[in-house]
Amino acid sequence: MAQATTLPRNETGIATALGILKQRFGDNFQTGQAIREQHGHTTTWIVNQAPDGVVFPQSTGEVAEIVRICAAHKVPVIPFGTGTSLEGHINAPAGGISVDVSRMDKVLAVHPEDLQVVVQPGVTREALNTHLRDKGLFFPIDPGANASLGGMTATRASGTTAVRYGTMKDNVLALEVVMADGSVIRTASRAKKSSAGYDLTRLMVGSEGTLGLITEITLRLQGIPEAISAARCSFPDVDAACRAAMTAIQFGLPVARIELLDVLSVRAINTYSKLGLPEEPLLLVEFHGSEAGVIEQIETFRAIAEEVGGRGYEAAATPEDRNRLWKARHDAYWAMQTLRPGTKAFATDVCVPISRLAECVTAAQDKLAELGLLGPIAGHVGDGNFHAALLVDMENAGERDRADEFVGWLNDLAISMEGTCTGEHGIGQGKMPYLARELGPATAWMAAVKRALDPDNILNPGKIVTL
């Protein structure tokens, strides 16, 4: 796989920085091979490019100090949350220092009256929700993995609940960021809305560590809904399932989640999670609201689904039933990999206008069949976003090439449908060529922003834009 280009290394600078960091951070700075490799890319078939050292700061001040040391010697700085990114975001193609924020894991302030929380970047979404549970509040964004909130902010993550609650761009109110020269800024106040100058918050959200290191995040929270209802419904084909999702969205139904699983995915979770779902394309839906509201909504959804051929509709009778179903959905990525043991999985991430979704998913299934590839599909279909999890025998060069062909073909198809090559996984190293195809001349202005904020290109170099 060609996605992980190597960049020139500043050997002298790196050697000097390693010495200074060792002296300054002692055991909180590690250079063993195993730990370095764990801090390079490990989740997909993109090559692992380990950093030269891993530092574990415990405060904003320490992050700023690390950046100042690296800036003085022009050494790359690569922020690391939990390492669950999928496009090589944390690789070190020019070497450098991985800044692992896992020890910056404090919830700094909860503002229940404002429905806000302030966290350090190493807090994971599950840890945050555990912390909030007894306050009647929750943070809704759910990318599946128990990612860090810093990482989720940096990749503009979303997931199953984005259809109702938006993505990280909609749920981050303000950030504290260490910039390329080691200075510390706040991007915004805690006001719910603002017209105060350029939106540095949104510029940082999704910048994948290439414009600054996030050291504090102010997030919007939601009250835990009075009632939650969930249901599943099978369909004769993915086209019908997609049409049901589209109609629900157009109708303005406030779905909190609406997820598609194709036949292969249903088969995978049936085996992995010991369920007995019909082996047909499946929609899973959830509604959040008042007792009366969610009952009305779930009945409306049933009518919409059955109108386009939905069958075997079943509402979750108990919270346990509901949780089992969503647990299975969350485990789908792992379940899929058991469909073909010994293979490596790689998830595509296109997102298209919902009017083109059925056509896009169907074309993807046809193309997978044509290329003889196994790629179960699951998707956040209320947003027009779906993943094909390619299960590839990495020893088989021909199959690898066909998988590459599929990824390129699908990204180009989505772009031709006025969609994007990445709904939520980000660009990293893997999608850099597609970003250029998708946004063309705009990427030159992204590069101009990058050069302005990081003139020496020390912040996570080799990601998003070519300089």
Q: How far apart are CA 218 and CA 33, in angstroms?
A: 35
Q: How far apart are CA 195 and CA 247, in angstroms?
A: 35
Show contacts with a copy of itself in window 246-265 (CB under 8 A). 246, 249-252
Q: How far apart are CA 263 and CA 267, in angstroms?
A: 6
Candidates 7, 164, 166, 315; binder of a copy of itself (CB under 8 A) is: 166
Torsion of Cα atoms, 140 then 143 then 148 then 149, to 10°: -40
Of 225 and 309, which CB lies nearer to a copy of itself in the complex structure? 225
Show contacts with a copy of itself in window 126-155 (CB under 8 A). 155
Candidates 9, 186, 267, 302; binder of a copy of itself (CB under 8 A) is: 186
CA distances, 86 to each of 67, 228, 334, 437, 458 (Å): 25, 31, 14, 20, 22
CA distances, 57 to each of 39, 40, 103, 290, 465 (Å): 15, 18, 7, 44, 27
Under the binding rule (CB under 8 A), the answer on residue 448 touching a copy of itself is yes
Under the binding rule (CB under 8 A), the answer on residue 167 touching a copy of itself is yes
The residue range among 11-19, 123-131, 325-333, 431-439 that interacts with a copy of itself, by the rule CB under 8 A, is 431-439
Residue with tokens 């805690």: 190
Q: How far apart are CA 276 and CA 268, in angstroms?
A: 11
Of 234 and 443, which CB lies nearer to a copy of itself in the complex structure? 443
Candidates 425, 430, 458, 459; binder of a copy of itself (CB under 8 A) is: 425
Of 15 and 227, which CB lies nearer to a copy of itself in the complex structure? 227
Candidates 222, 229, 273, 365; binder of a copy of itself (CB under 8 A) is: 222
- How many other CB atoms are there within 10 angstroms of residue 290's CB atom? 11
The residue range among 74-82, 99-107, 124-132, 243-251 that interacts with a copy of itself, by the rule CB under 8 A, is 243-251
Using N-to-C axis directions, what is the helix angle for 397-416 and 432-439, rounded to 10°?
20
How far is C-alpha 417 from the chain's CA centre?
A: 22
- Residue 295, both tokens: 């009952």
Nearest Cα neighbor of 166 from 205, 134, 204 is 205
The residue range among 206-214, 232-240, 272-280, 302-310 that interacts with a copy of itself, by the rule CB under 8 A, is 206-214
Q: How far apart are CA 126 and CA 146, in angstroms?
A: 6
The residue range among 75-83, 234-242, 391-399, 434-442 that interacts with a copy of itself, by the rule CB under 8 A, is 434-442
- Residue 398, both tokens: 């021909």
Under the binding rule (CB under 8 A), the answer on residue 329 touching a copy of itself is no
Of 37 and 181, which CB lies nearer to a copy of itself in the complex structure? 181
Under the binding rule (CB under 8 A), the answer on residue 193 touching a copy of itself is yes
Residue span 90-129 as binding mask against a copy of itself, x where in contact by CB under 8 A, dash where not: ---------------------xxxxxx-------------
Candidates 101, 119, 141, 188; binder of a copy of itself (CB under 8 A) is: 188
In 136-275, where does DSSP find H-type helix? 149-154, 162-165, 168-171, 200-204, 238-250, 263-272
Asked whether the beta carbons of 58 and 104 are under 8 A apart, the reply is yes
- Residue 5, both tokens: 């280009």
What is the gyration radius of the CA atoms in the chain, in angstroms?
Answer: 22
Q: How far is the CB of 361 from a copy of itself (least distance, A)?
A: 14
Asked whether the beta carbons of 75 and 14 are under 8 A apart, the reply is yes
Under the binding rule (CB under 8 A), the answer on residue 319 touching a copy of itself is no
Q: How far is the CB of 354 from a copy of itself (least distance, A)?
A: 6
The residue range among 7-15, 220-228, 229-237, 387-395 that interacts with a copy of itself, by the rule CB under 8 A, is 220-228
The residue range among 119-127, 256-264, 277-285, 421-429 that interacts with a copy of itself, by the rule CB under 8 A, is 421-429
Candidates 35, 72, 179, 228; binder of a copy of itself (CB under 8 A) is: 179
Q: How far is the CB of 68 from a copy of itself (least distance, A)?
A: 15
The residue range among 91-99, 125-133, 217-225, 334-342 that interacts with a copy of itself, by the rule CB under 8 A, is 217-225
Show contacts with a copy of itself in window 345-404 (CB under 8 A). 349, 351-355, 383-385
Q: How far apart are CA 243 and CA 306, in angstroms?
A: 11
Under the binding rule (CB under 8 A), the answer on residue 431 touching a copy of itself is yes
Q: How far is the CB of 430 from a copy of itself (least distance, A)?
A: 12
